[in-house]
Amino acid sequence: MPIKKLLVIAAGVVAASALGLSGTAIAGTLVPVAAVVAGHDHSATESDRCLHDDDFAPNPALGDRVCAMGDGLFKLRTANGDRITHIDPPTAKDKGTRDSLKAITGGSAALAARAHFCATDSYRIQLVYMIPANGTDASATMVPLMQQHFIQSNAMVSDRAAEFGGDLSLRVACEAAGQPAVRVLRSSTDNGSIGSVDQELNRQGLRATGQDNVVYWGNGGCGGGVAWGSGDARPGVDNPVNNAPGVAVVTGRCPFTYMLHEQGHSMGAVLPNTPNGSGRGHCNDDADVMCYNDGGPRSSGYRTDVCPSPNGNLDYYWDCNVNDYFHPNPPAGSYLASNWNLASCSNRMIYRPNCGAALLRTRS
């Protein structure tokens, strides 16, 4: 699934600001939050590159200060720290919308899928439609499209959990009526790179501790997706992916799985040392939202027959074998039982009503 998906691994310090319960930004002191990178073994040659300011130059897809590190990697220098990036161009088929794709429940599910959870703290997903400075305001169509995409994304995640005895859903900022809330912002620039969008979110008060901002930029054809990510495999609630403000950008009108893919990166998938990880933020299991042959150091293990797609779309499953990044009840001794697991109670972007009271108190 070689669509334009970019994973940015935090390699420095990110800043967080306070957010009011209503979703409106309030004044607050910027708080540095350490972002740890684990499991990324860049070569000595790579580490010697991109150390000086004159190594950096503008890249329209990424930002104003970008340095090529080789092997498809880039370093992006931002006001909130350096990020290691990886990008792939979209293919022709991904320029459509394919919004008819629906999540399914396979096997004998023990639970019904759960609707999204409306969160009033900053540990949540915030949907943002960002209009370029000189762009047309298409919020009348883009806002309901984003709401539909989030509902579909939540259904895919919740259905997958229900298959394996898990009762969970995604946490999101909501309107008064309970629909996912979409903040409509006009950018001060026409620059839709992730670096510029990150600055704009900060300028307009949406960079908050723990909040994952999912931004749809403009309203043109599908241009792919980018996201900040994490390489930290620690399984507990103190994993820094919980507190570092997340940024994901989907350019134009793409399939809903782009939203879910980039949100997956924001939540910490896919770690380099997973059983089927590519080593560059994705996995090798083919018909999976988070998997495609990204050219990573372990992508030679990519297979097209692991989870056959029932409808021909390669991004149909959410962790197709529930062994790389998501399992609500991982078997003892398995990778997800002892490493970061997006379905665990430690992930502050999900709601699990059966999580322990002590852990829930740390999330409020």
314-327 pLDDT per residue, tens = 678 999 999 999 99
Residue 88 pLDDT grade (very low, low, confident, very high; cuts 50, 70, 90): very low
Residue 233 is given by DSSP the state -
Distance of CA 63 to the CA centre of its chain: 19
Report residue 329: phi and psi, to 5°.
-140, 70
Could you read off the pLDDT of 279-301 as tens digits, one per residue? 888 899 988 999 988 888 898 99
CB 289 within 8 A of CB 283: no
Q: What is residue 48's predicted lDDT score, i.e. its pLDDT?
A: 66
Residue 322: is the preceding peptide bond cis (ω within 30°)?
A: no
- The strand ranges marked E within the chain are 5-10, 13-16, 31-34, 57-59, 63-70, 73-78, 81-86, 117-118, 125-131, 169-172, 182-186, 212-221, 224-229, 246-253, 350-351
CA distance 166 to 159: 9
Query: Domain extents for the chain?
Result: 5-363
Residue 181 pLDDT grade (very low, low, confident, very high; cuts 50, 70, 90): very high
pLDDT at 361 over 50: no
Longest dimension (CA), the chain: 58
User: What average pLDDT score do residues 128-146 get?
Assistant: 96
Q: What is residue 314's predicted lDDT score, i.e. its pLDDT?
A: 65
Type of residue at 17: S
Structure-block tokens of residue 44: 């000595």
What does the mean pLDDT of the chain come to?
78
